[in-house]
């Protein structure tokens, strides 16, 4: 929870600026332009900086917003206030359409896709008859309240900045919520988020729509500020510029978008008015400088300017501890979580010609700790991925409480009460331990994005954080609760993953090398915790290389070698099994 005071101060300063005596009217125009660009950049911050989806096509959404109101308010004489929701709906629904196609694309396909449809739409704007082709649409009515008509840049100034500050608040609220955590987890890959029930394509589509609606809002304001629209400001160049703004400001920070917009708009103005004096006779010198600065910025300060500025402020004191007396309702349980929880039957996974898991069968009973061991490359982690739905088995079956779950996605598996940790830690390093662990309770919360933006989610949110805090205390990391997950040691990060998995309120916990990187005492504490969980009714399936740890802890051990199960039994029998000794040490001399 961030303090609202700086935002209030900022709002007051912005409100006072037009009243400063001797304020040149041109500066107000600049501030208007900054506000318009900031709205789009803010959407990009969420989309690119936070969600990891780069879009070069935002200018097209600005165009949708602007053209919607331009057409409706000129040809059909609708009031601009009526066209506002329509502009937003048009941008938003086109975002759904384009988003459904593009957000599933991974990595570099997404930005290229946005570049392509951004260009296509630009040409569409400039060719369509009812949008006025290249000339666009003019004589758009100004915004008005009663008889007050916002004709001058100074009068629409307030409309623009109210929009900016409100959007910033809503966006920050969204980020600081259950949905926000899911969005923030997107950039680090989808596997971890999905393991806790986050529907990642839906979360991506959500940020895509959010960014498009903000762009549409900017377009609507733009149309009524300029009172004319033509295709030029909605082309590929503009789309690139918006991204530049977000990168300059610091693509991960809402206020970075505003800062970036201020810097870029002012800089452009300065370059346009002074560069011709230095280098006369050329039209586009500012684009040259622009391009060079973009590259230089990426090389020198890839994080943008906002985090750099913030580093001068004294470090904020850690957040307050959630009220752990709040209880989160339990996961909905199957009627009988007893007997055989998990049954793996002849599970097989082939990657091309490689058989990673070869017809492996075993089961996990209620209240039991089972260890899955074997030399490197034995197929242990692949088995985990098969159970949790990250991979689907080539053949064989996996059942939970007697129901087959072979084709179920990770989001469904976690609903059954199976949660996991990862061999390679998958936490969001720039989120606090508390926030990371709270992702584990994702399915136990209910607030959606709109409720989060409007802060109607606080009761739900408090319970989620309380549960997360309880699990963090349980694993013994209470002191690190408000530190960034990335600042912890690798061993501690593994423990954070366990706390996150416990937030699911699981019946079966899958731990992939939980003791790796832990010190001796920490291992003992972990073993004690796992025994306590078992005695409390939970089952644990763990992959581990530390034999001392496994032998003292596990009730039963399954041994894999080259994808095949070679032994199963109690620790005592496994220790003396000749097959196992051979697999680990080679043929006895």
Partner 1 sequence: MNTTIMLFLVQDGITNGAIYALLGLALVLVFAVTRVILIPQGEFVTYGALTYASLAAGQMPGTAKLALALGIGAFAFDLFVARKALHGRLVVRSFITNIVLPSIVLALTIYFAAQKPPVAVCIALSLVIVAMIGLYLYRIAFQPLAHTSVLVLLIASVGVHLALQGLGLLFFGAEGQRGPAVLSGAFTAGSLRFTGQSLTVYGITIAFIVGLWLFFGLTLYGKALRATAVNRLGARLAGIRTTLSGQIAFLLASVIGALSGIMIVPITTLYYDSGFLIGLKGFVAAIIGGLVSYPLTAVAALVVGIVEAFSSFYASNYKEVIVFMLLIPVLLLRSLAAPAVEEEKD
Residues near partner 1 (CB under 8 A) are 48, 52, 54, 56, 101-102, 104-109, 111-113, 115-117, 119-120, 123-124, 127, 187-191, 236, 240, 243-244, 247, 282-295, 298-299, 302, 385, 390-392
Q: How far apart are CA 441 and CA 464, in angstroms?
A: 6
CB nearer to partner 1: pick between 298 and 338 = 298
CB nearer to partner 1: pick between 133 and 582 = 133
- Closest separation in Å from C-beta 385 to partner 1: 8
Measuring CA to CA, which residue among 542, 139, 151, 522 is closest to residue 368?
A: 542
Question: 460 and 327 in contact (C-beta within 8 Å)?
Answer: no
- Closest separation in Å from C-beta 87 to partner 1: 22
- Closest separation in Å from C-beta 285 to partner 1: 6
Q: What dihedral angle (degrees, nearest 10) is formed by the CA atoms of 261, 266, 268, 273? A: 170
| 3-class SS letters over 445-476 | CCCCHHHHHCCCCHHHHHHHHHHHHHHHHHCC
- Locus of tokens 């949110």: 461
Beta strands of 13-168 (E only): which ranges? Answer: 137-138, 143-145, 148-150
Q: How far apart are CA 243 and CA 56, in angstroms?
A: 7
Measuring CA to CA, which residue among 266, 299, 205 is closest to residue 38?
A: 266
Q: What dihedral angle (degrees, nearest 10) is formed by the CA atoms of 161, 162, 163, 167? A: 110
- Closest separation in Å from C-beta 564 to partner 1: 23
For CA atoms 458, 460, 464, 467, the dihedral sign is: positive
Exposure letters 77-97 (e unless 16+ CB within 10 A, then b)? eeebeebbebbbebbbebbee
- Closest separation in Å from C-beta 525 to partner 1: 30
- What 3-state class would DSSP assign to 338? coil
- Closest separation in Å from C-beta 118 to partner 1: 9
CB nearer to partner 1: pick between 102 and 230 = 102
Which DSSP state fits 325?
Answer: T
- Closest separation in Å from C-beta 254 to partner 1: 19
- Beta-bridged to residue 145, according to DSSP, are 148
- Closest separation in Å from C-beta 278 to partner 1: 13
CB nearer to partner 1: pick between 241 and 561 = 241
CB nearer to partner 1: pick between 97 and 585 = 97
Tokens linked to 114: 């946005």
- Closest separation in Å from C-beta 486 to partner 1: 11
- Closest separation in Å from C-beta 293 to partner 1: 8
CB nearer to partner 1: pick between 188 and 321 = 188
Contacts of 28 (CB under 8 A, 6+ apart): 17, 18, 153, 154, 157
For CA atoms 250, 253, 256, 258, the dihedral sign is: positive
């Amino acid at each position: 929870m961030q303090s609202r005071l700086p935002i209030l101060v900022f709002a007051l300063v912005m409100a006072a600026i037009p009243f400063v005596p001797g304020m040149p009217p041109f500066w107000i125009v600049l501030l208007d332009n900054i506000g318009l660009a900031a709205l789009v950049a803010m959407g990009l911050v969420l989309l690119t900086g936070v969600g990891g989806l780069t879009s070069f096509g935002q200018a097209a959404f600005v165009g949708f917003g602007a053209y919607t109101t331009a057409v409706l308010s000129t040809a059909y004489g609708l009031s601009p206030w009526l066209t506002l929701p329509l502009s937003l709906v048009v941008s938003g629904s086109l975002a759904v359409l384009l988003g459904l196609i593009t957000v599933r694309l991974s990595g570099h396909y997404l930005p290229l896709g946005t570049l392509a449809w951004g260009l296509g739409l630009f040409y569409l704007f400039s060719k369509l008859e009812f949008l006025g082709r290249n000339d666009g649409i003019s004589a758009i009515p100004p915004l008005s309240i009663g008889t007050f008509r916002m004709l001058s840049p100074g009068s629409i100034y307030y409309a623009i900045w109210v929009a900016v500050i409100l959007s910033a608040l809503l966006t920050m609220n969204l980020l600081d919520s259950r949905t926000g955590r899911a969005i923030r987890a997107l950039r680090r890959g989808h596997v971890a988020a999905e393991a806790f029930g986050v529907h990642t394509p839906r979360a991506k589509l959500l940020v895509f729509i959010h960014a498009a609606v903000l762009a549409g809002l900017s377009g609507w304001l733009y149309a009524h500020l300029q009172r004319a629209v033509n295709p030029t400001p909605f082309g590929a160049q503009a789309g690139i510029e918006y991204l530049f703004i977000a990168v300059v400001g610091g693509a991960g920070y809402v206020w970075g978008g505003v800062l970036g917009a201020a810097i870029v708009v002012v800089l452009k103005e300065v370059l346009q008015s002074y560069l011709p004096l230095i280098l006369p006779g050329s039209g586009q010198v500012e684009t040259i400088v622009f391009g060079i600065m973009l590259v230089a910025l990426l090389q020198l300060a890839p994080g943008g300017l906002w985090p750099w500025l913030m580093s001068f402020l004294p470090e904020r004191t850690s957040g307050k501890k959630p009220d752990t007396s709040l209880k989160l309702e339990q996961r909905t349980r199957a009627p009988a979580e007893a007997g055989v929880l998990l049954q793996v039957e002849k599970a097989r996974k082939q990657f091309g010609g490689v058989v990673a898991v070869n017809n492996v069968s075993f089961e996990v009973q209620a209240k039991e700790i089972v260890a899955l061991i074997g030399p490197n490359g034995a197929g242990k982690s692949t088995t985990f991925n098969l159970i949790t739905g990250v991979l689907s088995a080539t053949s064989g079956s996996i059942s939970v409480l007697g129901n087959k779950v072979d084709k179920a996605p990770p989001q469904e598996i976690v609903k059954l009460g199976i949660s996991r940790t990862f061999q390679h830690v998958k936490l969001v390093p720039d989120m606090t331990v508390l926030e990371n662990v709270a992702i584990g309770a994702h399915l136990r919360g209910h607030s959606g994005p709109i409720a989060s933006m409007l802060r109607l989610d606080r009761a739900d949110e408090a319970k989620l954080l309380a549960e997360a805090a309880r699990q963090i205390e349980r694993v013994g990391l209470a002191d690190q609760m408000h530190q960034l997950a990335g600042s912890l040691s690798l061993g501690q990060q593994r423990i954070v993953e366990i706390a996150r998995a416990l937030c699911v309120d699981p019946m079966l916990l899958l731990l992939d090398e939980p003791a790796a990187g832990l010190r001796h005492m920490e291992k003992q504490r972990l073993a004690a915790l796992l025994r306590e969980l078992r005695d409390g009714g939970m089952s644990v399936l763990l992959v581990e290389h530390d034999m001392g740890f496994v032998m003292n802890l596990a009730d039963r051990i399954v041994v894999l070698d080259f994808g095949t199960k070679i032994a199963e039994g109690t620790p005592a029998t496994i220790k003396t099994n000749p097959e196992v000794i051979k697999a680990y040490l080679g043929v006895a001399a």
